Chain A
Amino acid sequence: MKLEDLRKIRERAEKDISLRRGDARVNVVIGMGTSGIAAGARNVMSAFLDEIGKRDLADTIVTQTGGRGLASSEPIVELHIKNEPVVVYGEMTDDKARRVVAEHIVNGSPVSEYVIEVRD
């Protein structure tokens, strides 16, 4: 192994432990209350994780929260991007999750059809 090889390994390895640094740019918060889970929040979470993995987005983490009292719009997902307002998406599905990753997290434009709230 040469120094360049070491550096390549490091690049990959850094991504692998990025969760522990606490400096993620994007936090995808999935509503995992009882009603959220019943409405399919687990599938939505898996879709986010899968898409984030495929796109190798090391600056993005997925966390959960309890129910937020908007049972009619579950599954609910909040997108927290550093220095940007919080965007809340409702009635999420597997496909919608993948679109949010592509358009909002990667390209920076919220998918307005699914947005139910924007908070500062």
Chain B
Amino acid sequence: MPHRLDVLVCSGAACVSNHTADVRDALQSAIEAHGLSTEVRLVETGCMGPCELGPILLVYPEGALYIRVTPDDANEIVEEHFLKGRPVQRLLWEDPAARRIAEEKKQVAFFERQEKVVLSNCGTIDPEDLQEYIATGGYEALGLALTERQPEELIQIVLDSKLRGRGGAGFPTGLKWQLAARAEGDEKYIVCNGDEGDPGAFMDRALLEGDPHAVIEGMTIAAYAIGAAKGFIYVRAEYPLAIRRLEIAIDQARASGLLGEDILETGFAFDVEIRIGAGAFVCGEETALIASIEGQRGMPRTRPPYPSDRGVFGQPTLINNVETWGNIRHIVLRGADWFRSIGTESSPGTKVFALSGKITNTGIVEVPMGTTLRELIDEIGGGIPDGKALKAVQTGGPSGGCIPAQHIDTPIDYESLKELGAFMGSGGVIVLDEDDCMVGIAKYFLEFSCDESCGKCVPCRVGTRTMLSILERITDGRGTLGDLEQLQMLADTIRSTSLCGLGQAAPSPVLSTMKHFREEYEEHVQTATCSAKRCKALIRYEIDRAACKACDLCRKACPVEAIEGTPGEPPYTIHESVCIQCGRCFDVCPFDAVRIESGKKKQNEVEG
């Protein structure tokens, strides 16, 4: 008997940490208890996207989307929906913009405005079931490549598609394939870069977890195109679920003759191995990654020679990003013209983004290149919560920059972002609102690069540290206008003299915020204030005497006993000399009596 209901249970990493397994188990027992085991099938899928709303269930054929499901909801869902056909309204997604409950996934703007190509299987198939991948046309592109295409034809298709590398720099993928194909070597290697080290980025994890076969298929097609017999998939150890699903996929592909000797009985041989990285950001840089695969310390080296000439074990190596690999099978099956029909002239195709920060719908989304930031943030992302105003959008992580709100209609493609001093990067998008301090944001990313510098070159190792201490001075209210000039000078030197992209791009977050938000820097150095009230040294916590109800919550919450008062006898007071500006009192006060005021601590003023 066929199933009449497919219940897709999101088992992406975010839902897994939200205890999706408990929900699945509860559903399973309720289904059994109601005698529905033969009618209802549970399918565990990869990430569906709206990670903050998990655990998520998607029920077909209706397409009903349940969010924030708990094990306690299982019985009601099974009895009302699965048995009696009445979806449980209170658990369906309510579109905040449309103010209505979405009966179907299709009605939710978050999904409806996306275009899923690379992620088409993420959240819709069981990534641990090869049959389901095959059902979506999986390995058809490989079959086509091996039986009906010459290696040069495949390279030409990728060249014609104008696909650009999704790992950050946007280098033309076809060109890289061509270089690797033409390079001389005893052996050639294929590498998948799944290091994904930038904070706020988890796109590659979603694809590896949700559709591992797609990455393997892309690599195998390239192996045939350039004449490689061996590949490596480099994944960070912090992605255990991705590693497990890749292992399962590799085993299945080998067992079915889709990987290994004599693939699809064509005589072509290729196999892949997983390499687990320790998680250093610099190991995502291709030459460092290659060193790490070889078992050496993950440190960048000068290029040229490029990996396409000399990569793994000194042999020609083709290295692409996870998402780049995920595009290949679609391009081979549907053609270069189809691919170029999506996105923009110079940046065709789609891009996967990880939305985070001050945005209603956080998570993983895929949109055509050329989509504007406004569409991404307001329509798909559901806008900024709590009625706050957008201030800027950070893209490209520690190598990227901030795009101010007035440029929100900028189409997202490699060139437009670069013009604004930002960077496409791998797809991390952090939304900042009026409460974010741009100097603080720049400091955060610079500190990240500084900590992750491998130390090989002085400008990167020492220069970023010096820039960081200047920024600390500024956020402490001790900066001068001369500091801003010095930041600029240091940035220029670091950019032009660092060996690898980490150092070269490390000053970008500072440069882009100095360019677009110079007044905020000036405010910090000239008046020692932070109008976003984020820089701890430049704010004071105070209790509004009229609003205080002497409930004692703030006094109990304060970790340093800076608050004095007696329950029932308002007002309470905060001793500035003791306060460490942790903000706990602000968070706990039920009467909004704790205020954040601009200005340095009084004793600082005396000193300085």
A positions within 8 Å CB-CB of B:
1-3, 6-7, 9-10, 12-14, 16-17, 19-20, 22, 24, 27, 30, 32-33, 37, 45-46, 49-50, 52-53, 61-66
Contacts and interface: CB of A to CB of B under 8 A. Distances in A.
B261 to A, nearest CB: 13
Contacts, number: 88
B86 A1 contact: no
A3 B61 contact: no
A37 B258 CA distance: 48
Contact of A6 (B1, B2, B8, B140): B140
Given A6-B264, A65-B85, 6 more contacts: A17-B132, A20-B60, A32-B84, A61-B61, A64-B85, A66-B84
B497 interface: no
Chain B's interface size range is 35 or more
A19 B5 contact: yes
Contacts of B147: 3
Contacts of B258: 1
A13 B85 contact: no
B121 to A, nearest CB: 10
Contact of B84 (A27, A52, A64): A64
9 contacts: A1-B256, A2-B264, A3-B143, A19-B4, A19-B61, A22-B60, A22-B106, A61-B61, A63-B85
Interface of B: 1-6, 8, 38-39, 60-63, 83-86, 106, 124-125, 131-132, 134-140, 143-144, 146-147, 256-258, 264-265
By CB atoms of chain B within 10 A, which of A12, A17, A27, A66 has the most?
A17
A37 B272 CA distance: 54
Contacts of B6: 17, 19-20
Contact of A66 (B1, B2, B86): B86
A6 B135 contact: no
Contacts of B38: 49
Given A17-B6, A19-B6, A66-B84, A10 B135 contact: yes
Contact of B137 (A10, A37, A61): A10
B257 A53 contact: no
A49 B61 contact: no
Contact of B132 (A13, A22, A37): A13
A16 B5 contact: no
Contacts of A12: 131
Contacts of B144: 3
Given A3-B143, A9-B131, A22 B2 contact: no
Contact of B60 (A19, A50, A64): A19
Contacts of A14: 135
B84 A16 contact: no
Contacts of B143: 3, 6-7
Most buried by B among A7, A9, A27: A9
A1 B147 CA distance: 13
B84 to A, nearest CB: 5
Nearest to B255: A1
